[in-house]
Amino acid sequence: MVPMVDLKRQLEDIRDEVLSSVRDVIESGQYILGKKVEEFEGRTAEYTGAAHAVAVASGTDALHLALKAAGIGPGDEVITTPFTFFSTVEAILYLRAVPVFVDIEPDTFNIDSNAIERRITSRTKAILPVHIFGCPADMELIMQLAGKHGLKVIEDCAQSFGASLYGKKTGSFGDAGCFSFYPSKNLGAYGDGGLVTINDDAMASQIRLLRNHGSAGGYIHNTLGFNSRLDEVQAAILLVKLRRIDEYNDKRRRKAALYSELLAGHVACPAAGSEGIQHVFHQYTIRHPKRDYLKELLREKQVSSMVYYPIPVHLQPAMAFMGHKEGDFPEAEKAARQVLSLPIYPELENSVVEMIAEIVRSV
């Protein structure tokens, strides 16, 4: 079966480095908040161009702690997209804030930035764009709107490590960028992990406190915090992969270009982004009117595919309390009916892309 990602295959190239980096940690006797996490934070800050990076336990925690440090609390409205992984919205709800959805652009699947201003009220405190599937959202307009209305911007970069707009990396535009190192992400750990990139010194200090029980050490607790630290073993693994992230993302882009070349005119291919946009193709997601039939056919031919996401967030059972109904966000709902993500990873062979494209074209 062709998998969606092949992490065993990736390990073949980096096994020695990973094992030696992990061995360093095990032999160091320091497993939480040690040298590897510190080095990883330094390197990711430098890589993304943000002033600070604080490693945390997951992408969900990154969002939760960033929103909290940005001062989001009960009753505050946070504008976001209904076409995302559920945890984008969970993080808002953890703080008893209110997610206010804006529909998506059909070609990029990202929040429609031109529709945001209409949803801004006196209670709006933040905008939370998601760079979905690795395609940067329209940060230029989002930052303009935030400046005009005095709003915070928290970027969900869980799927966009390395993506950029006019040379500026996602995660360096807003007040905070929230990354996930879930194993299948473009930069993936061998367990859970996350990171917040931040430009403001005080906000970075606050997130450092929040991830460690509100303490800077010495059993003095300045605020109520959480246990949300990236561990040293994960940092050791991530450091090895971080050295190769540009190569990994370049290879993904090349696979995506090949898919699009072979599929153009047959199905709706994902927008590669306009000039100046570097997509990192965490997913290669097409639209197909016979999506479920195509998925089944691929399965019969031993090819994995996934529906990200079958139900938009506003229609999830857990969101029923908000009273949204079908038709509220038609583009997100249509995308949920039509999308299909095809296998994409740096090690995927071109011949396999060609074979998959041939199956898709046959429908």
Shortest Cβ 25–ligand PLP spacing (Å) = 21
Phi, psi of 239, rounded to the nearest 5 degrees: -60, -40
Shortest Cβ 184–ligand PLP spacing (Å) = 8
Residues numbered 33-62 forming contacts with ligand PLP, rule: CB under 6 A: 58-60
Q: Does 285 bind ligand PLP (CB under 6 A)?
A: no
Q: How many residues bind ligand PLP (CB under 6 A)?
A: 15
Number of helices and strands in the chain (H, E) = 11, 12
Over the window 309 to 338, marking each residue x when it contacts ligand PLP by CB under 6 A and - when it does not, the resulting string is: ------------------------------
Hey, what are 129's tokens?
């764009």
Shortest Cβ 192–ligand PLP spacing (Å) = 6
CA–CA separation, 87 and 195 (whole Å): 15
The interface region with ligand PLP, picked from 154-162, 212-220, 255-263, 337-345 by CB under 6 A, is: 154-162
CA–CA separation, 42 and 157 (whole Å): 18
Hey, what are 160's tokens?
């966009």
Hey, what are 73's tokens?
């609390």
**DSSP code per residue over 139-163:** HHHHHHHHHHHT-EEEEE-TT-TT-
CA–CA separation, 56 and 297 (whole Å): 40
Phi, psi of 302, rounded to the nearest 5 degrees: 70, 35
CA–CA separation, 202 and 183 (whole Å): 31
Q: Does 81 bind ligand PLP (CB under 6 A)?
A: no
Contacts for 164 with CB less than 8 Å, ≥ 6 apart = 136, 170, 277, 278
Cβ closest to ligand PLP, residue 179 vs residue 259? 179
Q: Which of 159, 197, 212, 285 is close enough to bind ligand PLP by CB under 6 A?
A: 159
Q: Does 174 bind ligand PLP (CB under 6 A)?
A: no
Residue nearest to ligand PLP (CB): 59
The interface region with ligand PLP, picked from 21-29, 152-160, 255-263, 324-332 by CB under 6 A, is: 152-160
Hey, what are 68's tokens?
């909290």
Residues numbered 115-134 forming contacts with ligand PLP, rule: CB under 6 A: 130
Q: Does 84 bind ligand PLP (CB under 6 A)?
A: yes
CA–CA separation, 18 and 235 (whole Å): 11
Cβ closest to ligand PLP, residue 173 vs residue 182? 182
Q: SS3 for 25?
A: helix
The interface region with ligand PLP, picked from 82-90, 96-104, 146-154, 234-242 by CB under 6 A, is: 82-90
Q: Which of 47, 83, 85, 345 is close enough to bind ligand PLP by CB under 6 A?
A: 85
The interface region with ligand PLP, picked from 155-163, 244-252, 288-296, 332-340 by CB under 6 A, is: 155-163
Q: Give the type of residue at 323.
A: G
Calculate the dihedral angle through the C-alpha atoms of 46, 202, 170, 312, rounding to the nearest 10 degrees: 140
Q: Does 88 bind ligand PLP (CB under 6 A)?
A: yes
Cβ closest to ligand PLP, residue 61 vs residue 333? 61
Q: Which of 54, 72, 128, 158 is close enough to bind ligand PLP by CB under 6 A?
A: 158
Neighbours of 268 (CB within 10 A): 16
Hey, what are 58's tokens?
């997951």
| Binding footprint of ligand PLP on the chain (CB under 6 A) | 58-60, 84-85, 87-88, 130, 156, 158-159, 180, 182, 192, 194
